[in-house]
Amino acid sequence: TTLVPNLGVVSVDEKSEFLMADIPGIIEGASQGKGLGISFLKHIERTKVLAFVLDASRLDLGIKEQYQRLRLELEKFSPALANKPFGVLLNKCDVVENIDEMTKDFCTFLNLEAQKLEAFDLEPYLGFLHPNLTSDFENDPNEKSALFVLPLSAVSTLNTHALKFVLLKALP
C-alpha cells in the first residue's frame, strides 16, 4: 500500500524514459477530505496520463465498482482531472482464475472492443486483451474511454515489462 507519493524515472529502453508518480489509493470520500483525501488528489493534477490500478482479486468489491468509485471521486474533485487520458490496470491477476473473461467483461462494461495485443513483441505470452493501443495508436486528447486495460501481476511479473511500453505509447 502506497502511503506517500513516490516519483521515479521509468527506463523503457536505451532511448526512452518517462517520469512516473505513484499516488496512494483514492478512497470513497477523498474529494471531501476523507483519508489522505485532497492532499494526494492535488498531486495528480499535473499528470498527462492516469493509470487506475484496480484489485482484480477483491471479492467484496468488483473491478467495475472500484472503477466507478474512483471515477466518481475524481469527477467530484475536478472535472478536468476526470477528463485526463487514462488506462486501467487489473492488478493481482495471478490469483484470479478467469482473468481473460474478467478483462473481456470489463472492456464490454467500458464500451470498448477487446483485442489481443500483438503490437508489442516483448514477452512470449502477454496474456491480455487490450482495447485501444495498437501499433499505429496515437493519444487523442479528446478520447474519453480507456486507452488500455491491462491485467498485471507484480508477484508473477506478468505484463510488468510490457507495462512500461504501453505507458510510454499512451503518453501524448
pLDDT digits (tens, 9 = 90+) for 135-145: 444 555 445 67
- 106-to-3, 52, 94, 99, 116 alpha-carbon distances in Å: 28, 13, 17, 10, 14
Rounded mean pLDDT for each run of 10 residues along the chain, 172 residues in total: 76 90 67 59 77 92 93 84 88 90 88 63 44 50 71 88 84 82
Assigned domain for 118 exists: yes
Indicate the burial class of 11 (C-beta count within 10 angstroms; 0-12, 13-18, 19 or more).
exposed
Q: What is the pLDDT of residue 66?
A: 93
Assigned domain for 109 exists: yes
Q: What angle do CA 158, 167, 93 make, to 5 degrees?
A: 25
Assigned domain for 154 exists: yes
Assigned domain for 1 exists: no
**Other beta carbons less than 10 A from residue 84's beta carbon:** 15
Task: Note down the domain range covering 153.
Answer: 6-170
The tally of domains found in the chain comes to 1
Assigned domain for 89 exists: yes
Assigned domain for 106 exists: yes
The model carries a pTM of 0.80
- 48-to-29, 34, 82, 84 alpha-carbon distances in Å: 24, 25, 12, 7
99-109 vs 63-77: helix axis angle to the nearest 10? Answer: 40
The CATH number of whichever domain residue 56 belongs to comes to 3.40.50.300
Assigned domain for 25 exists: yes
Question: Residue 20: phi, psi to the nearest 5?
Answer: -125, 140
d(CA 172, CA 168): 9
d(CA 108, CA 145): 12
